[in-house]
Amino acid sequence: MTDTTATTLTLDVPTSTSLVPLRVADRGSGRPVLLLHGGAGPTSVAPLAEALTASYPVRVVTPVHPGFDGTPRPEGVGSVGDLADAYVALLDVLGLEGVTVVGSSLGGWVAAEVALRHSPRVAAVVLVGSVGLADDADPIADFFALDLDEVVERSYHPAHRDAARAALAAMPEAARALVPGNRAALLAYGGATMADPTLRARLTGVTVPVRVLWGAHDRIVPPSHGRGYAEAVPGATLRVLDEAGHLPPVEVPEVVAADVWAFAGVHPPAR
């Protein structure tokens, strides 16, 4: 077991188009994991970060997408592709090798785009309830038409909804004040549909091992999208989690952590 306390770093990461300011939480030691959060901000993956570093020899690096949690979003950073470019550059700045990239929801879409950048620093990718795929027959929910209570209803397994609503009611005012900015940043990156019609075809170009994890009770991004990712990425595998909805990193963090660790172990860094 390792210390789950996070150190916060502030880095200016150079990409080909801009200098991107990133706030990064860095915890644990060992095999590196780049953990990418969804539209609720970094708190939506914090339980998974803690579960990973508490039980396994891993170093978990969790950046805040620019514009979330009150961070600045430069004018040149306005798409999922821009975020992917910034995180590939972050791996270079930190000098990390053999990285397992784990992304939840919006972060999963970003992780898929990171895989398409073919960084030699990336060893494997795990997609958890990822947005990004366009599917007119079974579309992603209209997130921006939902209030917070409706988001809870659609996001969580029934067994976890009461606890989620209690946490929402107890949310400090400072955290509550960040919600509109987070939603605005999510809209800026993902658009109203949170999907890219070109993504499915481009996923055939992914060459790193990919694991897809999906909550069976996800009513934000239907489980059919998990099958879509698994079918589109060569060699990808899918696991459906019966005990989770859209937020397995919050609902069942230990289950996700064990799967990430096992998957990373099967796909060690290339030497």
- Tens of pLDDT, residues 116-147: 999 999 999 999 999 999 999 999 999 999 99
pLDDT at 85: 97
How far is it, in rounded angstroms, from Cα 47 to Cα 257? 10
**C-alpha torsion 174→177→181→182, nearest 10:** 70
Residue that the structure tokens 């969804």 belong to: 38
- 3 pLDDT tier (thresholds 50, 70, 90): low
Domains and CATH numbers, the chain: 7-266 (3.40.50.1820)
- 268 pLDDT tier (thresholds 50, 70, 90): low
pLDDT at 271: 46
Q: Which residues contact 11 (CB under 8 A, 6 or more apart)?
A: 21, 22, 24, 90, 93
- 4 pLDDT tier (thresholds 50, 70, 90): low
Share of the chain above pLDDT 70, in %: 97
- 269 pLDDT tier (thresholds 50, 70, 90): low
What long-range pairs does 91-96 form, CB within 8 A, spacing at least 24?
91/34, 91/119, 91/121, 91/122, 92/121, 93/11, 93/13, 94/61, 96/32, 96/34, 96/61, 96/121
Provide the mean pLDDT of the chain. Answer: 95
pTM: 0.96
Say if CB 229 and CB 112 are below 8 A apart.
Answer: yes
- 192-221 in b/e form (b: 16+ CB < 10 A) is eebbbeebbeebeebebbbbbbbbebbebb
pLDDT in tens, 69-98: 999 999 889 999 999 999 999 999 999 999
Q: Crossing angle for the helix pair 80-94 and 179-190, nearest 10 degrees?
A: 100
